[in-house]
């Protein structure tokens, strides 16, 4: 089995409101992945991850505030929360994809990457108390273990949020 890594922005502000829903409807939650917005998945195999290079990419990014403002659905079923603004997440994804072109987001399966917080991998009517005010303070490197559970390998802080 090839182990994987991922780069995400954890969204702890949403955990209380979505944790039970995600545990029931998103298999990644049961494998230890917190509420998050994906920046790059899959990323490099664990032994090939260059943490210094990740830090260098992130050096030009500051933290930012955002709001989870509405529930959306992808045509193939998954239900998710929309972050507003979503552009900072796109900028992070593009920066990593440009630095590591051999690791395109979602293995290049989607022409456009839409930042989102997955609630369910299948169609589902959901009720979540919105909006949820959030702050992106770090990009987290997750690593999949031999037991298929995901663990935090390292958190890379973003420049402090300027109010």
Using the predicted structure, report yes or no on whether residue 65 has a pLDDT greater than 60. Answer: yes
Rounded Cα distance between 85 and 48, Å, is: 32
Contact 119, 128 (CB under 8 A): yes
At 54 the three-state DSSP class reads helix
Domain residue ranges in the chain: 5-157
Rounded Cα gap, residues 49 and 140, in angstroms = 13
CATH 1.10.10.10 is held by the domain 5-157? no
Instruction: Decide if pLDDT at 161 tops 80.
Output: no
| Separation CA 71–CA 143 (nearest Å) | 28
Q: How far apart are CA 90 and CA 93, in angstroms?
A: 5
Task: Check: CB of residue 139 under 8 Å from CB of residue 92.
Answer: yes
Q: CA angle 19-35-71, nearest 5°?
A: 80
Return the pLDDT at 106.
75
Q: How far apart are alpha carbons 109 and 79 in whole angstroms?
A: 18
The model's pLDDT over 104-142, given as tens digits with 9 standing for 90+, comes to 887 666 678 899 999 999 999 999 999 999 999 999 999
The dihedral sign for the CA sequence 108, 110, 116, 118: negative
The least confident of 17-26, 91-100, 154-163 is 154-163
pLDDT score for 105: 84
What's the pLDDT score for residue 14?
A: 98
Q: Residue 109 is encoded by which pair of tokens?
A: 């399966």
């Amino acid at each position: 089995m090839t182990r994987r890594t991922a780069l995400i922005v954890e969204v702890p502000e949403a955990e209380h409101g979505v944790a039970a829903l995600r545990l029931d409807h998103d298999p990644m939650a049961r494998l230890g992945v917190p509420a998050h917005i994906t920046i790059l998945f899959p990323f490099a195999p664990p032994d090939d991850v260059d943490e210094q290079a990740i830090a260098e990419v992130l050096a030009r990014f500051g933290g930012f505030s955002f709001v989870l403002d509405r529930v959306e659905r992808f045509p193939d079923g998954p239900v998710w929360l929309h972050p507003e603004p979503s552009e900072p997440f796109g900028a992070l994804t593009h920066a990593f994809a440009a630095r590591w072109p051999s690791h395109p987001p979602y293995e290049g399966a989607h022409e456009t990457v839409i930042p989102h917080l997955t609630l369910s991998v299948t169609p589902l009517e959901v009720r979540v108390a919105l909006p949820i005010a959030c702050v992106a303070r770090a990009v987290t490197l997750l690593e999949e273990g031999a037991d298929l559970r995901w663990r935090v390998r390292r958190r890379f802080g973003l420049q402090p949020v300027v109010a």
